[in-house]
Structure formats: C-alpha cells, structure tokens
C-alpha cells in the first residue's frame, strides 16, 4: 500500500473507479455467448447468403467491445438442431458449475424459421424448446436474440404494431436479473437480407448499435434498452425501402436495479479505433473507396455518436437531400478520429450512382431542351425543335424516353402552295457518362419513331398528309452542374431519318418512296435529377 501511494497508483485507481462507476459498476460480468448462423433452411426455402456472417459479426462485436472472453464464445455455422441443442445444454451446465452471481447468457440466431421453430437445414428446433432452454439457464441475465422470419412468435407478440419503447433504471451496481427476448420481426412477418449491407437489416443495425450508434445518452456504453430502440427504428426505416415492413419485437422480464450493458465502445480497445460524428444525419461507411464493402449504415441524432471500428481506411458518406458528402479517412487503432475535422467532397446523387456508390441504385431525371436539326425534307431547311425527356441513371448506363416536336413553313416564291410541316417523335436513349471534376461527358444512341404531318394553304383542294418514319442517331453531350439536382446540358450529333416521300407533278402526288436523310441535331437546356 505504501509503495502504491508513493507512485500515485492509489489516486489513479480512484480516478478509474469514478470514471467507470456511472457505467454500471466496475466488475465485468461473466458473459457466455452462443452465436448460431445457418444459411440453409428447409428444402423449399431459398438459401440465405449472410446468416452465418451475421452470427460471426455479432460474436465478434461482443468479444471486441463487450469484454467477452473468447473462451466463453461458441459460434455454430451450418449446424443442425441436435448440435445446437447439445451446445446450449453444455453451456448451461458450464454456467451452473461456475456458480457466479453475475453470469450472463446471450444466445443469438440468424437463419430460417417458421412460427413453430428454427429451420436448421432439414432439421428443426422448436421455438418453445429454444425458449425453455434459455429460460432454464442458471445465468442471472438471459438474452435471446432471433433474426428470422416470423420470429415474433417466440416473444408471444402478435400482429405488426410498433412495439413501445421501454426504459431501464441505472443505479450503479448491476443487480438486474431475468430474461429478455429480441426478435427481428413480428409474428407473420418476413425478415429480410440486404446485398448492399451484406447482412440482414436487423442484424446489421443491431451490430452497428453495439458499436456505438445506439449510445443515445453519450455515456460510452450501449445497454439493452438503447440497442433495442436503435435497432427497431433503423430496421423499420430500411425495410421501408422494400415491399414489406419489418417490426422487431421484444419480451422483457428483467427486474431489479442496474442496466444490462452489452458493449462499451468508448472503453474497449481490442484492435479498434474511434470515429466521432457530431452532425446529425444518415451515414454510410464503406471500407476503402465508395464502392467497397459496406461496413455500417447508421443514423446519428442530435447528440452525435462515437463508434468503434477496426483500424483501416474508410469512406464515409453523409446523405443530404440531393447530394452526398464524401469523406476519405483512416481509423487508427486506439485513436479517436473526428469526422468534422476531415475535408470532404460534395457529390451529386447521379454521379454517385454512376460511380457505383451509395445506397441508391438509380436516379430519376427530367430534362427540357430546345434546339434545331438539319433539313429532313427538301425545301424546309433547318427545323427548330423542343424536347422533354425522362431518364434513369444506373451505374452501368443511363436510359431514357424522349418526346420531341419540330415545325417549319415552306412558302414558294409564287405563293401558290404554302406548306406547314410538323413532326412528333417518341424515342429511347442509352448513354454512358464520364464524370470529370467540372463537367460530365456522355456518349450514346437515340432511336425514334416519328409522325410527320403536312398541311397546305392553297386555292385548290389539298388535304393534309401524314406519314410515319424512324430515325437513328448518335448523341454526344456535356453537362455542368448548376445547383443541387439541377444541371445545364448541351448535346448533339448525326441523325439518319427514314420516311416515305412523294413527288408532286402537275398537282398530283406520285407514288411514295422510302427516302433517307442524314442531318445534324443540336439542343440545350436544363436537367433536373430527383
């Protein structure tokens, strides 16, 4: 004791105690984790892609940020019902033999399921049995998390009403005891995977929350209450982009004082660094460049967040209404990086989609342009035109549909036969964009169907004439962004038009022949991308 006082360690220990005390006590509970993932389900179920990855990521975040020893983590991939049952019973036996008053058991499952049970390949583990095994554990805190279709049956929650938020009371020492169940969907609902997130909506947001995104009060720890509320809101938002909403559910039966803290992102340092985000908004974090694997999609509130990430380079994109802010940064192990201190590039949604980044896969656009094209019928000269177009920008190309109208009047020297000509066309376009710093260049093709019409002003009888034709052309365009979503565009190129034409001799129209004309086209106007 005297030696420790001379070196100041007693004072250091007091400061550590004062820092850790608000987080729910300084004793680390003995936590056991059984993380189960199975991509295969029943014979009539489509094989999943990310269930086993979800289980691996979940156990990893509790190991790195939840002070869970690797010796107390059991991960099962592709196991059948017998292996899962046997593992759970063995872990329960180990917990009983340890006989510690603060033991926790966390069981996580990602895979196929029905209202009756987990589908582990061709075998099935009944929901009631799973619940009974976890409930019967000698662990003081028992947490069951099921990410599967119709998993709400295990919580006894019916329907698809939004589950109310629940709050816990934190009073220093961890004396809470009981069982909680979290599920990815209500009874009768499907749980969904995302290729972009490389995981299910529910598991992705749960893991992001445990990394710090769910730390609502900014105390550096994520408790069960915060994890559920964050995961519920984000899963509902993400599934709102699909055809079916997904409502996570809970069954909470934990009594006593103290919070059930799952991770401490601000304290644990196992190979991770910290990213501090202060500005509220929606963020997408990818490894390396913007087209790299998605690490996290998260929502940041008014208080900001500090999240724990493995040390490597990342791209962070903050989504606005019509643009992204694109940050390139490196997270260093055991260091905190403030996002706001890094430079960023503002990128319009269409450019982001064309380079294969972001969560939006397509951008809609509307354009209005005016211009002219070369002579298509002898005697009319260049014709003015107006056009309106609707486009879809994909990463591989931009496709669109375009309507165009042009008109002209031909008045001969003798004024005997004044002809008004007009045409209406509907066409398809396909273009490939190259985005430069100041401009975007495009090269593409245009195919149109055209309705030609002539009206005559003469003393005699000259009914109007109508004919149908086609045109094919190339498009070379250049765009300059003006404001968010609005761009100035100029385009042009050669066009070949085919249409039936007849020659008038002695006041009579002779037999029509299919004639072609090669001419130029040029136009300019505004493009508004939504």
Q: What is the pTM of this model?
A: 0.63
pLDDT score of 74 more than 90: yes
Task: Identify the pLDDT of residue 32.
Answer: 95
Q: Are residues 461 and 371 in the same domain?
A: yes
| Residues 389 and 466 occupy one common structural domain | yes
pLDDT of res. 157: 35
Asked whether residue 384 is domain-assigned, the answer is yes
pLDDT attached to residue 188 = 47
Is the pLDDT score of 84 beyond 60? yes
The answer on 101 and 240 residing in a single domain is yes
Higher pLDDT, 190 or 451: 451
State the pLDDT at residue 514.
66
Q: 303 with 171, same domain?
A: no
Higher pLDDT: 18 or 34? It is: 34
Question: Would you place residue 421 in the very low, low, confident or very high pLDDT band (cuts 50, 70, 90)?
Answer: confident
Q: What is the DSSP letter of 22?
A: G
Decide the pairing of beta strands 177-183 and 141-147: parallel
Choose between 3 and 96: higher pLDDT. 96
pLDDT of residue 132 exceeding 70, the answer is yes
Task: Note whether residue 6 is domain-resident.
Answer: no
For 201-224, the pLDDT digits (tens) are: 888 889 999 999 998 888 889 988
- What is the reported pLDDT for 152? 42
Indicate the average pLDDT of the chain.
Answer: 79
CATH number of domain containing 160:
3.40.50.1460
Check whether residue 513 and residue 403 sit in a common domain: yes
| Cα–Cα distance measured from residue 101 to residue 420, given in angstroms and rounded to the nearest whole number | 95
**Is there a domain that residue 358 lies in?**
no
* Whether residue 311 sits in one domain with residue 217: no
pLDDT classification of 61: cutoffs 50, 70, 90: very high
Question: Are residues 206 and 276 located together in one domain of the fold?
Answer: no
Mind listing the pLDDT tens digit for each residue in 276-334?
Answer: 999 998 898 988 887 788 888 888 888 889 999 999 999 998 887 777 888 999 999 88
Q: Highest-confidence range of 5-19, 58-72, 247-261, by mean pLDDT?
A: 58-72
- Determine, yes or no, domain membership for 19: no
- Percent over 90 (pLDDT), the chain: 35
At 479, is the secondary structure helix, strand, or coil? strand
Residue 410: predicted pLDDT: 74
What is the reported pLDDT for 382?
A: 86
Q: Is the pLDDT of residue 502 over 80?
A: no
Q: Minimum mean pLDDT among 35-44, 233-242, 444-453, 471-480: which range?
A: 233-242
Could you give the 3-state DSSP secondary structure of residue 234? helix
Cβ atoms of 179 and 134 closer than 8 Å: yes
pLDDT 10s digits, 318-362 = 887 777 888 999 999 889 999 988 998 887 767 767 766 655 678
pLDDT confidence bin for 499, thresholds 50/70/90: confident
Residue 135 lies in a domain: yes
Which residues are CB-neighbours of 294 under 8 A, at least 6 positions away?
196, 197, 198, 284, 285, 286
The least confident of 41-55, 120-134, 236-250 is 236-250
pLDDT over 90 (residue 271):
no
Q: What is the pLDDT of residue 20?
A: 37
| 9 located within any domain | no
For residue 151, pLDDT beyond 50: no
Q: 505 phi and psi, to 5 degrees?
A: -130, 125
pLDDT value at position 415?
58
Final residue in a domain of this structure, among 327, 349, 371: 349
Residue 16, pLDDT above cutoff 50: no
Residues in the chain: 530
Above 60 in pLDDT, residue 253? yes
**What's the whole-number mean pLDDT along residues 78-82?**
93
- Out of 263, 295, 324, pick the residue that ends a domain: 263
Q: Please count the structural domains in the chain.
A: 3
Mean pLDDT within 522-528: 94
CATH number at residue 318: 2.60.40
Domain hosting 386: range is 363-529
Higher per-residue confidence, 369 vs 188: 369
Question: Among candidates 86, 77, 88, which has minimal Cα distance to 34?
Answer: 88
**pLDDT at residue 396 tops 80:** yes
pLDDT given for residue 259 in this prediction: 67
Neighbours of 71 (CB within 10 A): 7
Q: Are 160 and 212 members of one domain?
A: yes
Do 40 and 137 fall within a single domain?
Answer: yes
Rounded Cα distance, 54 and 359, in Å: 20
Position 13 scores a pLDDT of 38
Determine which of 39-48, 95-104, 271-280, 497-506 has the lowest per-residue pLDDT on average: 497-506
* Residue 77, pLDDT above cutoff 90: yes
Same domain, 411 and 302: no
Q: Which of 263, 289, 307 is the last residue of a domain?
A: 263
Whether residues 107 and 178 share a domain: the answer is: yes
List the end-to-end C-alpha distance of the chain, in Å, as a whole number: 69
**H-helix or E-strand spanning residue 274:** strand 272-277
Q: Are both 283 and 326 inside the same structural domain?
A: yes
CA distance 512 to 518: 19
């Amino acid at each position: 004791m005297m030696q420790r006082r001379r070196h100041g360690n007693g004072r250091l220990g007091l400061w550590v105690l004062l820092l850790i005390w608000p987080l729910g006590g300084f004793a680390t509970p003995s936590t056991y984790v059984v993380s189960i993932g199975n991509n295969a389900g029943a014979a009539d179920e489509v094989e999943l892609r990310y269930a086993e990855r979800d289980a691996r990521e979940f156990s990893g975040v509790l190991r790195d940020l939840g002070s869970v020893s690797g010796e107390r983590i059991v991960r099962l991939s592709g196991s059948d019902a017998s292996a899962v049952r046997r593992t759970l019973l063995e872990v329960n036996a180990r917990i009983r033999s340890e006989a510690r008053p603060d033991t926790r058991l966390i069981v996580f499952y990602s895979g196929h399921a029905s209202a009756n049970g987990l589908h582990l390949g061709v075998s099935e583990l009944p929901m009631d049995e799973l619940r009974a095994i976890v409930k019967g554990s000698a662990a003081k805190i028992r947490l069951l998390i099921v990410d599967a279709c119709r998993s709400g049956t295990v919580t006894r929650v019916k329907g698809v009403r939004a589950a109310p938020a629940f709050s816990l009371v934190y009073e220093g020492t961890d004396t809470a005891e009981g069982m909680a169940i979290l599920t990815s969907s209500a009874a009768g609902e499907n749980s969904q995977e995302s290729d972009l997130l490389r995981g299910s909506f529910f598991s992705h947001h749960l893991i992001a929350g445990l990394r710090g995104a769910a730390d609502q009060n900014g105390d550096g720890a994520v408790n069960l209450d915060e994890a559920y509320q964050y995961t519920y809101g984000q899963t509902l938002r993400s599934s709102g982009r699909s055809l079916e909403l997904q409502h996570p559910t809970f069954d909470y039966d934990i009594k006593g004082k103290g919070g059930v803290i799952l991770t401490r992102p601000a304290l644990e340092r196992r190979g991770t660094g910290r990213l501090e985000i202060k500005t509220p908004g929606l963020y997408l974090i990818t490894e390396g460049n913007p087209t790299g694997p998605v690490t996290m999609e998260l929502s940041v509130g008014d208080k900001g967040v500090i999240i724990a990430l493995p040390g490597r380079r990342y791209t962070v994109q903050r989504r606005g209404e019509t643009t992204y802010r694109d940050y390139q940064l490196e997270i260093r192990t055991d260091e905190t990086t403030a996002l706001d201190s890094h430079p960023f590039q503002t990128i319009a949604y269409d450019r982001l989609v064309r380079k294969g980044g972001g969560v939006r896969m397509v951008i809609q656009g509307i354009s209005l342009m005016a211009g002219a094209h070369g002579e298509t019928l002898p005697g009319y000269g260049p014709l003015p035109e107006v056009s309106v177009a609707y486009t879809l920008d994909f990463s591989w190309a931009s496709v669109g549909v375009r309507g165009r109208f042009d008109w002209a009047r031909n008045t001969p020297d003798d004024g005997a036969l004044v002809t008004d000509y007009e045409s209406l066309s509907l066409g398809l376009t396909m273009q490939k964009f190259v985005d430069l710093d100041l401009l975007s260049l495009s090269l593409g093709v245009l195919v149109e169907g055209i309705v030609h019409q002539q009206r005559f002003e003469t003393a005699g009888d000259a009914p109007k004439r109508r004919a149908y034709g086609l045109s094919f052309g190339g498009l070379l365009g250049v765009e300059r962004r003006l404001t968010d979503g609005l761009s100035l565009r100029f385009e042009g190129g050669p066009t070949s038009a085919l249409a039936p034409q007849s020659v008038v001799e002695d006041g009579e129209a002779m037999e029509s022949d299919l004639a072609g004309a090669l001419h130029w086209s040029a136009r300019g106007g505004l493009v508004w991308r939504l």
